[in-house]
Structure 1
Amino acid sequence: MLAFDLQRFAGEKTERATPQRRREARREGQVARSAELTSALTMLTGVILLRMTGPKFWDTWMNAMTKSFSSAGSVDLAKQGQVLGLMHQNLRLMFGLLGPLFGAVMVVGAATGFAQTGPMFLPNLLLPKFSRLNPIEGFKRIFSVRGLVEAGKSLLKLVIVGVVVYAATQGVIDKVVMLTQTQVQTLPAFVGQIVFKLAIEIGILFVLLAFLDYLFQRFEFEKSIRMSREEIKQEHRNQEGDPLIRSQLRQRGRALAMRRMMQDVPKADVVVTNPTHFAVALRYDASTMTAPQVIAKGQDEMARRIRETARQAGVPLMENKPLAQALYREVEIGTEVPAELFRAVAEVLAAVYRLRDGRVRR
């Protein structure tokens, strides 16, 4: 039995996308990207930076609040300038403390997005698309495979957070009981330590999950831009043009080159023949050329046309089978004769010049 690849006939999209298809998808905003990876890395970065700068931030803020409350009695509430000055001072302090933190988080988020997609500027995606307001399409997206995957990821996140919180509280529950016998001043540091430990562990787990999500998004993206073999063939046809048109253009180009070549035959000094299979027209001008030049050549029918044109123009024909074959095979039209053929060509030209001089004397 003969085995047939049915996918060839069914138009199944089984082939990897071509570079042209990838560029088109990119122009439409279709790239492999995981929003989960960006949010997870920015969250983990923020938690780590806050853990590193938290004590300094807390001390600075508490000192500022203490100073503000201690001087509150000297502030005249009737004077708007004093109240606004105090507010501006506290706001500048807050922005000075939180600004670098927010800046670092934004840089990490931007770098993560850039690493996934590369440079992208697609202003057309900012335009509203009313097709997105279609409720039927919205339900299809919610209950599609992708929607189920997103719901599964959200549920998995909740489970992970619950497990991590439960494990962490089990490890410190004895210390929490002992806090009833400690001073109040130790509570913020203890609670902050537990919270940051939980946040970092959860952040690391979220980053791992987000990386898996990125791999899944790449798989889905590659799957979505696959092409059928017919689409690839059509793309090649569009890029290279219709084969029939290309063939016609090549034929026209050859015909034009042949006409130009035949127009140069009357300018030749001699036509070297095989005598019937090959014909090569040579021209030499000592004032402009360093060596004789092939201005026309042909085989069989084209050789016959060159000979006829030469006879009509009065160009002498010289039979030299080895030289005619060598010139036809080794020298292109418009190029000079190579050094190894100088001697044979010189003998032919010398014979032509002697013949021409003899006719002139008569």
Structure 2
Amino acid sequence: MADEDKSEKTEQPTERKLRQAREKGDVAKSQEIPGWFILAAGLGIIAVVSPGLSRGMAESLSLFFANAHQLSLQPGEAIDLATATAMRIGLVVGLAFLALIVAAILGNVVQQGLLFTPSKLEPKLSKLNPVDGVKRLFGPQGWMNFLKGIGKMALVSIAIGVVLWPKRDELAVLPMMELPAVLGLLRVDAMLLMLAALIVYSLIAAADFFFQRHEFIERNKMSRKEIRDELKDTEGDPMVRAKLRQIRQERAQRRMMAKVPEAAVVITNPTHYAVALEYEQGRTPAPICIAKGVDAVALRIRELAEEHGIPIVEDPPLARALHATADLDVPIPVDHYKAVAKVIGYVLSVAKGRARGRK
């Protein structure tokens, strides 16, 4: 059943699905990225801090060894000396350790941003089950992590070996060198080693990041049913949406029909199209389309026009053109001004003729 469910999840996850996964703490995260940042921070510390640090340590140790016979071994003085030395070393180590912590945090932030999921901190008895623990360690994922770790260590070791092998003769004479020279040489060699490891680790981190991203997408893929259900949750049932759309259209149509008695003329096809135009000299700068429709709607527009004595002019090309290009409650397109002006002019002339006839 699980295999069938997995085979059905063929669709890419939606934004809502990914957002819900993030809220649960499920994100595409590579553990190698923080490791890369820590390694880069270590290289930076050695490059920036170690010159002054190595000189200071060389001077201190030189004085210490040169004057070892003058050092007092009285309990109080020995403790003071040890405390001062420990504080000096602790300050340097503490700052370096703080920089590595910041680098590790930054390595996580650049991948997923700031993320806090209290649910991940909740104690779960299932995590204490030794059977489940053994399955995690010796299951497919556990073996994959084990082989990945072995491969990573092998590649980094090869890179370090490539750097160290040409320097094997230099390392052999270290015991015969002065302390400042030893510290300086170790600093350079350490930088070369970390740089080689960083280059290899960059490839490892990039590959693992894309792999974790792929696994994250695969893990959150959805079935077609899940996408339909999500669509119902976010946008409502399709039948309900269709009903609401129908209600809105009916209301808009009623508002449109209520304006037909205000029209100056209705231009028809004569049976399939009808467009009602409002125009009053001195009040409207151009004719305004206040109603339009086809078939049943066009018939209703013509009926309302006849009921209220609105002139109806049959002009099929103009009726079709206005229906296709004119928007409701705005002036008609400029391209139709001339044709509509002729129609309105004709209507006004007929109205004036009738007025003179009544007199």
Give the alignment's TM-score, normalised by structure 1. Answer: 0.73
User: In 2 relative to 1, CA 159–355 (structure 1 residues): closer, same or farther, beyond 3 Å?
Assistant: closer
Contact 1:266–1:309 (8 Å) recurs in 2: yes
The 1:10/1:149 distance shift into structure 2, 3 A limit, reads closer
Q: What letter matches 2:264 in structure 1?
A: D
Task: Give 1:347's match in structure 2, choosing from 322, 342, 346.
Answer: 342
Q: Which of the residues 27, 30, 36 maps onto 1:34?
A: 30
Aligned length: 349
Residue 245 (1) aligns with residue 244 (2): no
Secondary structure (helix, strand or coil) at the match of 2:8 reads: coil
Structure 1 residues 152, 341: CA separation in 2 closer, same or farther (over 3 Å shift)? closer
Q: Which residue number in structure 2 is paired with residue 133 of structure 1?
A: 127
Distance in 1 between residues matched to 2:88 and 2:5, nearest whole Å: 70
CA displacement at 1:73 relative to structure 2? 5.1
The answer as to whether partners of 1:50 and 1:101 remain within 8 angstroms in 2 is no
**Residue 3 (structure 1) aligns with:** none
Q: Compared with structure 1, are the counterparts of its residues 64 and 307 closer, same or farther at alpha carbon in structure 2 (3 Å cutoff)?
A: farther
Q: Measure the CA separation in 2 of the matches of 1:322 and 1:156.
A: 77
Distance 1:281 1:175, change over 3 A: closer
What amino acid sits opposite 1:130 in the alignment? K
Tell me the amino acid that sits aligned with residue 39 of structure 1.
G
Deviation at 1:258, TM superposition (A): 1.0
Tell me the residue number matched to 1:334: 329
Other structure's SS at 1:223 match:
helix
SS in 2 for 1:335: coil
Return the offset for 1:11.
Answer: 4.5
CA contact (8 A) 2:259 2:291 kept: yes
Structure 1 pair 278–103 and aligned structure 2 pair: CA distance change class (3 A)? same
1:190 Cα deviation (Å)? 11
CA drift of 1:163 comes to 8.1
Q: Deviations over 1:82-126 (max 9, x none)?
A: x77x777556533553355334433433333333x1412224245
Q: Distance in 2 between matches of 1:44 and 1:326?
A: 69
Amino acid at match of 2:251: L
Deviation at 1:250, TM superposition (A): 2.0
The SS at the match of 2:9 is: coil
Quick check: 311-320 or 103-112, which moved more?
A: 103-112
Deviation at 1:259, TM superposition (A): 0.4
1:282 counterpart residue number: 277
**What secondary structure, in the 3-state scheme, does the structure 2 residue paired with 1:109 have?**
helix
Query: Counterpart of 2:266 in structure 1: which amino acid?
Result: V
Q: Which moved more, 1:186-195 or 1:135-144?
A: 186-195
Q: Mean Cα displacement is larger for which, 51-60 or 197-206?
A: 197-206
Provide closer, same or farther for how the CA distance between residues 347 and 87 of structure 1 changes in structure 2, counting only shifts above 3 A.
Answer: same
For 1:38, the aligned partner's letter is P
User: Given residue 247 of structure 1, which amino acid in structure 2 is its aligned partner?
Assistant: A
Query: What letter matches 1:231 in structure 2?
Result: E
Instruction: Give yes or no for the alignment of 1:119 onto 2:113.
Output: yes
Q: Distance in 2 between matches of 1:206 and 1:352?
A: 85
After TM superposition, the structure 1 = structure 2 runs for residues 140-219 of structure 1, keeping only pairs within 5 Å, are 140-155=135-150, 172=168, 196=190, 200=194, 203-204=197-198, 209-219=204-214
Does 1:304 pair with 2:299?
A: yes
Q: C-alpha displacement at 1:265, in angstroms? A: 0.9
Note the alpha carbon deviations across 1:17-52, whole angstroms, 9 max, x for none.
Answer: 333333332232222322244235524642674474
Work out whether 1:58 is the aligned partner of 2:57. yes
CA shift in 2, pair 1:170/1:122, >3 Å: same
**Counterparts in 2 of 1:286 and 1:96: CA distance versus 1, 3 Å:** farther
Distance 2:147 2:238 in 1: 51
CA–CA distance in 2 between the matches of 1:325 and 1:170? 87
Which of 11, 18, 22 does residue 22 from structure 1 map onto? Answer: 18
- RMSD over aligned CA atoms reads 4.6
Measured at CA, do residues 23 and 65 of structure 1 come closer, stay the same or move farther in structure 2, by a change above 3 Å?
Answer: farther
Q: CA deviation at 1:72?
A: 6.6
Q: Could you say if the C-alpha distance between residues 132 and 304 of structure 1 is closer, same or farther in structure 2, counting changes exceeding 3 Å?
A: same
Distance 2:256 2:348 in 1: 23
- Distance (whole Å) between structure 2 residues aligned to residue 311 and residue 264 of structure 1: 14
Residue 4 of structure 1: aligned partner:
none
Once residues 237 and 319 of structure 2 are traced to their aligned partners in structure 1, the CA distance between those partners, rounded to angstroms, is 39
> Which of 189, 194, 215 is equivalent to 1:220?
215
The whole-number CA distance in structure 2 between the counterparts of 1:174 and 1:260 is 94
Q: Is the 8 A contact 2:159 2:196 kept in 1?
A: yes
Distance between the aligned counterparts of 2:28 and 2:145, measured in 1? 16
The amino acid of 2:141's aligned partner reads R
Quick one: which amino acid aligns to residue 343 of structure 2?
V
Q: Which letter maps to 1:98?
A: V
2:308 alignment partner, one of 309, 313, 316: 313
What is the CA distance between 1:141 and its match in structure 2? Answer: 1.9
